[in-house]
Amino acid sequence: MGEPREPGVPTPEDGAALVALAVAAVAARLRGLEHTPEVPASVVLAAPGASFVTLERKGYLRGCIGTLDARRPLYVDVVRNARKAMTDPRLPPVTVVDWPELEVKVAVLTSPVSIEVAGLDGLVAALKPGIDGLLLTDGERRSTFLPAVWGKLPDPYRFVEALLAKGGWPAWTDGIRAFRYASVDFADRSPRSPL
């Protein structure tokens, strides 16, 4: 018998369904088709949710797009983000050449919670490496790192400094607000047949 799950947290079965939806959306788009998913039976997948979809090929990022706020059903959010990740403006578009080796990852996010700290040192001390996703905001400017980024940037100072650089901030300023969130991650690394 497993541990009881929190309400709203996707089960492994929910995660497999979300990844399958993302894979189907990418495959359909590569074929020039539109993928319209059916409403899932899972209450968690049909409820509003926030997600990121990451596409990688041979360990290299091919796209990563997501939402931080739960504004639409989770399954719709995943399909939308999978399509958008294919044309991540930071990278060349995903093509059929990528398909056979494309890894599809789905991160389901908790709601961001404010981290009340004084300065960069306070933020670094408050972070939980490997657990916290981090969102920085300043007016209209926003930048985030998913918790998975800790795998590449395990030092908290480097993690925050890289996120500041990603967001276009030369350094920490008092106007920056910080928020933490967690994610439940699912992936499909299966080799694929050519389309």
Contact status, residue 187 vs residue 92, Cβ threshold 8 Å:
no
Residue 193 lies in a domain: no
Q: Are residues 16 and 106 in the same domain?
A: yes
Residue 65 lies in a domain: yes
Q: Are residues 100 and 22 in the same domain?
A: yes
pTM: 0.89
Q: Are residues 99 and 144 in the same domain?
A: no
Q: Are residues 73 and 91 in the same domain?
A: yes
CATH number of the domain where residue 134 is located: 3.30.1490.150
pLDDT in tens, 65-115: 999 999 999 999 999 999 999 999 999 999 999 999 999 999 999 999 999
Residue 194 lies in a domain: no
Closest CA to 106 of 7, 166, 24: 24
Write the Ramachandran bin of 124: left for phi over 0, alpha for psi from -120 to 50, otherwise beta.
Answer: alpha
Q: Are residues 65 and 153 in the same domain?
A: no
Write the Ramachandran bin of 139: left for phi over 0, alpha for psi from -120 to 50, otherwise beta.
Answer: left
Look up the domain containing 165 and give its range: 113-181
DSSP secondary structure code for residue 111 in this structure: P
Residue 1 lies in a domain: no
Q: Are residues 120 and 72 in the same domain?
A: no
User: CA-CA distance, 186 to 45, in Å (whole number)?
Assistant: 14
pLDDT in tens, 49-74: 999 999 999 999 999 999 999 999 99
Tell me whether residue 59 is exposed, middle or buried, using C-beta atoms within 10 angstroms of its C-beta: 0 to 12, 13 to 18, 19 or more: exposed
Q: Are residues 105 and 168 in the same domain?
A: no
Residue carrying the six token digits 């979809």: 53
Q: Are residues 57 and 117 in the same domain?
A: no
Q: Are residues 99 and 16 in the same domain?
A: yes
CATH number of the domain where residue 57 is located: 3.30.700.20
Tell me whether residue 186 is exposed, middle or buried, using C-beta atoms within 10 angstroms of its C-beta: 0 to 12, 13 to 18, 19 or more: buried
Q: Are residues 82 and 142 in the same domain?
A: no
Q: Are residues 150 and 95 in the same domain?
A: no
Distances (CA, A) of 150 to 3, 16, 132: 26, 23, 9
pLDDT in tens, 116-160: 988 999 999 999 999 999 999 999 999 999 999 999 999 999 999
Total domains in the chain come to 2
Q: Are residues 143 and 79 in the same domain?
A: no
What integer pLDDT is reported at residue 89 of this predicted model?
A: 96
List Cβ neighbours of 191 (8 Å cut-off, separation of 6 or more).
100, 101
